[in-house]
Structure 1
């Protein structure tokens, strides 16, 4: 049985955010939205998210600062960064620090859906590895 991803779209640009939510829902994903980094962290604290689509250029708490908090707080999510301001150096640093993918706005719907599916595949593989590891650590006694 395939797990349906629960996605959090984080972007201060309301028009883009609402459009992404609508598109992702039309593809069968469960989607919530946050208008800034603090809103995102509050929603992530409730649990249950698999993937975060995170805009990097936001006022107050930037996407990079939000990602730092996601890591510090140990949220089990794959993060896909989106930005309209291309910086190869920034992209490289974020990818080295664990961001799953880095997409440049305006990314096509196909690019975003593909990135989300790949992120879900990675998360599912990691969860399967954890389950297998637990089986070996705690074998059932027959």
Structure 2
């Protein structure tokens, strides 16, 4: 981003999700577990997709939904898979009393914050592009049912 350029709300929200994704990946990188292997793969894809999406969002006025819809959809679907995978891993490390127990507890708020950011981004996408145009891009449970 150019020095002094203002970040759009949508860019800020997805940038926060990228930062949170990086923090989770850094936190779990040293641990091994079958569920964690899946989680790392999902979050790595989410990070790569966000890195493609963010440059397109730099100019909110010119960001065309036809260009970014696939990336947005991937980010939401990755989170949709990552959240229960993380919860399953957290239960496993607690039950098995693995060394990653404290890390799992520390990372839990990041997943909640990611979901909040994605919900807020869904509303922003709806405001920019319209409910009809994003209904197949953003899973419905990220958009509040009360309008």
Same fold (TM over 0.5): no
Q: Which has the higher strand share?
A: 1
Q: TM-score when scaled to structure 2?
A: 0.28
Q: Which has the higher helix share?
A: 2
